[in-house]
A and B are shown apart, each in its own frame.
Chain A
């Protein structure tokens, strides 16, 4: 408005038509303003997130090796057919399920037990433990990987020495190249990173429960188990469901960096997951079509899971208003 106000009155009186056009233009600009503020964020997201997604969708129908100067060649749905018959595909799916299910105790189960068990400790002690528990969360995946590789290195690693000292195993156990152990160790490292964060989150949810509910239940003669089942669980159900959803939807993503740095999916693909397989298809085998087909397929799978979990969330979660 400020420019319109400062316009010489005579000028707008002399050219009423021009003033009207200017005003209309201003009004249009006013209406555009909200979108102008949105533009940088949304424009960048569209360019770096949605545009490539559409490209991946079309690459899933093509054969291409990313060689500069060559064009993707349309092959229809054959990538999906080849994906389902790929020898590495089903083991990777199996491992993805293994990691997803295996993460749940670390991201929900153990933290829930820890948070409930230590609910009534001194608040100052709680602050100290909170600070310590949180540390794995801010560690970089690569740094975490180097530390655990050193801890678990054959013969000279601390874990090996400990196992040998306890008589559990020989000194030479090589955790990352053992076909049975590799995926367990990847799971444990990913779990180590998540556990403290979940515990803190659940602990905070517990602290926020109104103490009067417990008082009332106690007066009604409800035992400890009843109180847990009928008060604690419903009151923290939204946090629990949030952690369950996050864990299920993202554990495949969380394990990715450890797989890449520590085992490269090996030995014999025993520790790979579906996302790492896509990565290998694209950047080791230069088979972009196959990678894109897997990406689209699993985006759909995880999308359906997210939808289902969202439904479940609405049904199960109790909201205390």
Chain B
């Protein structure tokens, strides 16, 4: 009796579980579709010719690169990419250097005012960009830097985000290694460069990727201090291209695709590391 009833109930329960599983995957696929489709549409649209751009075909019938050539002709896209690479690389390196020095100091020594330092760093979260934009704009202008890439880089040479993230990672550094180095009579910079940095290389690389992506995507500050296409990073160039003529959809999508390529390439090769570091340190 009991075995019979359990047999009859097992079948529907099994079916129910299968159905629930299918539903779960359907839900996930739908969400993944929402996340990825706009990008798919971006790339596909950039490959369509003038006759096809306005039709909703999911695969270009006559794939062409003419949009890319057109975008290249209308805006100095290579120059803007180069500007973005220079700015992002400079910002990343500067923030790494300043935050490594700060993190080392906080990890290495106990000194008066440690709490103050941490307070100064964390309070910057509450300072919105809009509360500092005008004085910084005036400052950069007074140095005659408007339209110069330095104007974009200077205010971002140190960041509380990089400093706090670096400090959190440095805090896990084994003290025993430091003490051993001190016995060898090494200088502080020597300890930092020869012992700490090699051990933290992987963490620092992760943070570097994050900082680079953040800087590449930066918009609010550069848009204020850029002056003309030739000195614009790609995001600003894209924005002014977008405003110039609303009917060049193919070329605009081509330019947008190009602006995304460096980030996509990074993501393709280091997807797991990038997601992990975003999760560890949060977003800016």
Chain A: residues with CB nearer than 8 A to chain B?
Answer: 1-2, 31, 33-35, 37-38, 40-46, 48-53, 55-56, 59, 66, 68, 114, 117-118, 121, 125, 127, 129-151, 153, 156, 158, 161, 192, 195-197, 199-201, 204, 242, 246, 249, 252-253, 256-257, 260-261, 275, 278-279, 282-283, 288, 291-292, 294-296, 298-299, 302-303, 306
The 5 closest A-B pairs by CB, nearest first: A37-B105, A52-B135, A44-B158, A140-B217, A52-B132
**In B196-244, which residues have CB < 8 Å from any A CB?**
213, 216-217, 219-220, 223-224, 235-236, 238-239, 242
Contact B120 A45 (CB under 8 A): yes
Main secondary structure of the interface of A (DSSP, over half): helix
Q: Can you name 5 extra interface pairs (CB under 8 A) apart from A140-B260, A306-B125?
A: A41-B99, A46-B120, A133-B32, A134-B275, A291-B130
Given A132-B35, A135-B36, answer yes or no on A306-B126 (Cβ-Cβ < 8 Å).
yes
Q: Which residues from chain A contact B238 at a C-beta distance below 8 Å?
A: 142-143, 146
Tell me the bound Cα distance from A298 to B130 in angstroms: 10
Main secondary structure of the interface of B (DSSP, over half): helix
Query: Is B63 interfacial (CB 8 A cutoff)?
Result: no
Q: Which residues from chain A contact B139 at a C-beta distance below 8 Å?
A: 52
**In B55-111, which residues have CB < 8 Å from any A CB?**
56, 97-99, 101-102, 104-106, 108-109, 111
**In B147-173, which residues have CB < 8 Å from any A CB?**
154-160, 163
Query: Is B274 interfacial (CB 8 A cutoff)?
Result: yes
Contact B121 A196 (CB under 8 A): no
Contact B135 A121 (CB under 8 A): no
**How many residues of chain B are within 8 Å of chain A by beta carbon?**
89
Given A34-B111, A59-B135, A253-B129, answer yes or no on A200-B275 (Cβ-Cβ < 8 Å).
yes
| Chain A, Cβ-Cβ closest to B21 | A121
Q: Which residues from chain B contact A52 at a C-beta distance below 8 Å?
A: 131-136, 139
Minimum CB–CB distance from A169 to chain B (whole Å) comes to 16
Minimum CB–CB distance from A74 to chain B (whole Å) comes to 17
Contact B267 A135 (CB under 8 A): yes
Contact B127 A288 (CB under 8 A): no
Q: Which residues from chain B contact A49 at a C-beta distance below 8 Å?
A: 124, 127, 132, 160
**In B244-279, which residues have CB < 8 Å from any A CB?**
246, 249, 252-253, 255-256, 259-260, 263, 267, 271-272, 274-275, 278-279
20 A-B contacts (beta carbon < 8 Å): A2-B187, A31-B111, A33-B109, A34-B108, A35-B111, A44-B98, A45-B158, A55-B134, A121-B25, A131-B272, A135-B39, A140-B263, A143-B235, A143-B238, A147-B42, A201-B279, A260-B223, A261-B242, A275-B129, A288-B134
Tell me the bound Cα distance from A33 to B41 in angstroms: 55
Query: Is B193 interfacial (CB 8 A cutoff)?
Result: no
Contact B31 A199 (CB under 8 A): yes
Contact B131 A56 (CB under 8 A): yes
Q: Which residues from chain B contact A146 at a C-beta distance below 8 Å?
A: 238, 242, 252-253, 255-256
